[in-house]
């Protein structure tokens, strides 16, 4: 940990950070988005308290820097995606308690083949990235009620990341593209430098949640924010979420 920030080196075989303007086919940004990077840190350590249908996060991760260690390489994939989604929490609880029979989502077939109301599957083209590697730097931003616990939060993340522990498998944009990570103790001693690439990426997805909120309710609509991203010598400097450089709904 340097000046309250943590650095991870992450890598994987495939990644897809879908551009939101592509409504049907998935087309990845050339580099990882702050939202996807935050998800990797969250998978290692995140804490919150549930209060009925509300969640009170203790903190959020602020991504500060993205270093690209491998040049962007695209690969075309065709995948089967189900059109339905898993039912809500109430139905899932019934399945877990055994009061109702689970109803799986079938990737092949719908009402005609299975006698159900499922919509079946659809084939979609994906322009993904292959052989990706990044160095991500982030810091913990505690909510006002939990600022006194910031030192303990940093220590817990550091302990978990050093040991390779995570609550769920981190992934690169899609869950079928797993991400592997290693905690970087000293960035100055890191052997691999960022790639020598300067590129104006344009408007990039920053996040789909309002990171400033102290209470999140179940069913809250997405809060889409964007920022003007540029690669300079293989590095994207990410502005703070509260910065005016981050474009938010309604100019929030």
> Which tens digits make up the pLDDT trace of 166-207?
999 999 999 999 999 999 987 666 678 999 999 999 999 999
pLDDT higher than 90, residue 225: yes
**At which residue do the structure tokens 């019934």 appear?**
94
Q: Per residue in 58-80, pLDDT tens?
A: 999 999 999 999 999 999 998 87
Contact 159, 6 (CB under 8 A): no
Tell me the two tokens of residue 15.
Answer: 């990644």
Global pTM?
A: 0.86
Across the beta sheet with 225-231, the strand order is 199-207, 225-231, 246-247
pLDDT confidence bin for 216, thresholds 50/70/90: confident
Q: Picking from 4-18, 79-93, 110-124, 189-203, which range would have the lowest pLDDT averaged per residue?
A: 110-124
Going along the chain from its start, the domains and CATH numbers come out as 5-76+129-251 (3.30.70.2660), 84-119 (no CATH)
Contact 15, 39 (CB under 8 A): no
Q: Per residue in 231-250, pLDDT tens?
A: 999 999 999 999 999 999 97
> What is the distance between the alpha carbons of residues 43 and 8, in angstroms, rounded to a whole number?
13
> What is the distance between the alpha carbons of residues 177 and 195, in angstroms, rounded to a whole number?
22
């Amino acid at each position: 940990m340097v000046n309250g920030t943590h650095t991870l080196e992450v890598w994987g075989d495939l990644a897809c950070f879908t551009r939101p303007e592509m409504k049907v086919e998935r087309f990845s940004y050339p580099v990882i988005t702050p939202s996807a990077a935050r998800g990797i840190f969250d998978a290692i350590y995140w804490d919150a308290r549930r209060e009925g249908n509300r969640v009170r996060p203790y903190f959020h991760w602020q991504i500060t820097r993205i270093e690209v260690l491998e040049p962007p390489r695209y690969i075309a994939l065709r995948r089967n995606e189900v059109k339905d989604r898993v039912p809500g929490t109430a139905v899932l609880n019934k399945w877990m308690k055994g009061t109702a029979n689970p109803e799986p989502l079938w990737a092949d077939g719908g009402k005609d083949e299975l006698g159900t109301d499922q919509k079946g599957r659809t084939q979609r083209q994906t322009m993904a990235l292959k052989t990706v590697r990044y160095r991500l730097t982030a810091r913990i931003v505690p909510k006002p009620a939990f600022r006194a616990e910031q030192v303990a939060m940093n220590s817990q993340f550091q302990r978990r990341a050093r040991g390779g522990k995570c609550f769920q498998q981190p992934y690169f944009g899609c869950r079928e593209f797993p991400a592997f990570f290693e905690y970087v103790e000293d960035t100055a001693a890191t052997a691999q430098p960022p790639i020598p690439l300067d590129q104006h990426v344009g408007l990039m997805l920053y996040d789909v949640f309002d990171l400033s909120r102290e209470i999140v309710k179940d069913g809250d609509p997405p809060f889409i924010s964007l920022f003007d991203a540029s690669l300079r010598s293989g590095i994207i400097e990410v502005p703070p979420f509260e910065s005016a450089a981050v474009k938010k709904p309604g100019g929030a």
